[in-house]
Amino acid sequence: MKKSGSFIQYFSEIEDPRSEINKKHLLLDVLFITVCAVLCGANSWDEISDFGEARIDWFKGILDLPNGIPSHDTFRDIFLFLDPQKFNEAFVGWISNIANLFPGEIISIDGKTSRRSHGKNKKPLHLVSAWANNNSLVLGQIKVDEKSNLTFRSSHFSLNRSRARSFIQ
């Protein structure tokens, strides 16, 4: 990336899962395009690649893009082998940093059970989400083992107490 910023600060800690011969595109470029596309409503690897192609001039102004926008297969392959825990930590840290720019932000915590996510030998999927109301942004989402009365700990979202308090101040 040409310009430094908090995205780089948080996402540069993620290890690139590809071998050296498969690094046609920079990992930070791929991650940034993906996050932008998903925040704008992309729901598939094709849509993420199309989003990048449609905005290539804008992305070229802030990313290196030595080989242009990656294909949908490249996005998929990278995320298939990316460490999800590291990505979650980077994303939550980055979003927390953004949320700190908006004092007085109200954070809503909500739990949902996904419909038809259970089976004969499979428990239903229970998710807990943290939502920044003023920013209209999901700060984090985690899978929990069972439905409860939402006894929430901020550690679920890799947030320390001071960072969690700064959301509310």
Asked whether residue 49 is domain-assigned, the answer is yes
3-state secondary structure of 72: helix
Domain span at 49: 6-82
Asked if 93 and 161 sit in the same domain, the reply is: yes
- Could you report the per-residue pLDDT of 10-42, keeping only the tens digit for each? 999 999 999 999 899 999 999 999 999 988 889
- The burial of 28, by beta-carbon neighbours within 10 Å (0-12 exposed, 13-18 middle, 19 or more buried), is given as middle
Whole-prediction pTM: 0.65
Asked if 105 and 163 sit in the same domain, the reply is: yes
Asked if 67 and 96 sit in the same domain, the reply is: no
What gap in Å lies between CA 46 and CA 76, rounded to an integer? 9
Last residue of some domain: 24, 47, 82?
Answer: 82
- The burial of 69, by beta-carbon neighbours within 10 Å (0-12 exposed, 13-18 middle, 19 or more buried), is given as buried
Asked whether residue 1 is domain-assigned, the answer is no
- Could you report the per-residue pLDDT of 48-77, keeping only the tens digit for each? 999 999 999 999 999 999 999 999 999 999
